[in-house]
Amino acid sequence: MSLGGRPAVTKRETLLAACSLAPPLSEGACAWCGAERPDRRKTWCSDRCGDAFWANHWWSVARQSAKRRDRYRCRRCGTRAPKRPVESAHKTRKAYVAAMRSWRKEKRTGRMEVNHIVPCAGAHGELSCAHHLENLETLCPACHKAHTATLRPRKHAPQPGAEELSGAALSTGLP
Ligand SMILES: [Zn+2]
Ligand SMILES: [Zn+2]
Ligand SMILES: [Zn+2]
């Protein structure tokens, strides 16, 4: 039995030690870019480096970042997601609400999805190097479905339920 002394190793540290994008961990250096780290900061030299870490390792952030990088366009067929209406571009609130309504309807079928090029083996809920942006591609639902079918010819396609639910829950703010 050991009496302490060993620092607790967090999941993030273990991951960073093995991450192909991060520099070797070293005392006083940013764990993402390797630059000198200000004393008041614990892991990163700047918010930017922290954000870059999350964008490459945490699914919900990585997914958004991948879509933004691909400009909301399917990497295989070039289909583009319907654009969310901007309130200031509408003369009246009524016009905006109507535009939002048809956008939401369109989004149900035109919504872009993000695929792991090397499958992530169910790592959606954890910090993982499977979410590196270079391993992600934005696909339209049809191309994603076709891709998934080539991966698992014998199984049912995974249900997009969870994602769809949270998306719907987030976008129902308007009457
Ligand atoms: Zn940095
Ligand atoms: Zn497509
Ligand atoms: Zn990584």
Instruction: Give, for all 175 residues of the chain, the pLDDT tens digit.
Output: 445 556 667 889 999 999 999 999 888 999 999 999 999 999 999 999 999 999 999 999 999 999 999 999 999 999 888 888 999 999 999 999 999 999 888 877 678 999 999 998 888 899 999 999 999 999 999 999 999 998 865 545 455 544 444 444 444 444 4
The CA 38 to ligand 1 mean position distance, Å, reads: 10
Tokens 């922290």 found at = 50
The CA 140 to ligand 2 mean position distance, Å, reads: 4
The CA 22 to ligand 3 mean position distance, Å, reads: 7
Contact present, 171 and 104 (Cβ < 8 Å) = yes
The CA 65 to ligand 1 mean position distance, Å, reads: 19
CA distance 61 to 70: 14
Tell me what pLDDT residue 16 has: 94
The CA 126 to ligand 1 mean position distance, Å, reads: 23
Tell me what pLDDT residue 159 has: 52
Residues composing the chain: 175
Degrees, nearest 5: CA angle 143-149-150? 95
Residues with CB under 5 A from ligand 2 (ion): 74, 76-77, 79, 140, 143
The CA 135 to ligand 1 mean position distance, Å, reads: 22
The CA 117 to ligand 3 mean position distance, Å, reads: 15
Tell me what pLDDT residue 2 has: 44
- For residue 5, give the amino acid letter: G
Residue 79's Cα: distance from chain center in Å?
Answer: 19
What is the b/e burial string over 155-169, where b = at least 16 CB atoms within 10 angstroms of the residue's CB?
Answer: eeeeeeeeeeeeeee
The CA 66 to ligand 3 mean position distance, Å, reads: 15
Tell me what pLDDT residue 34 has: 96
Ligand nearest to the CA of 31: 1
Tell me what pLDDT residue 4 has: 53
The CA 35 to ligand 3 mean position distance, Å, reads: 18
- Write down the pTM of the prediction: 0.70
Tokens for 97, please give them: 């609400």
CA distance 28 to 109: 49
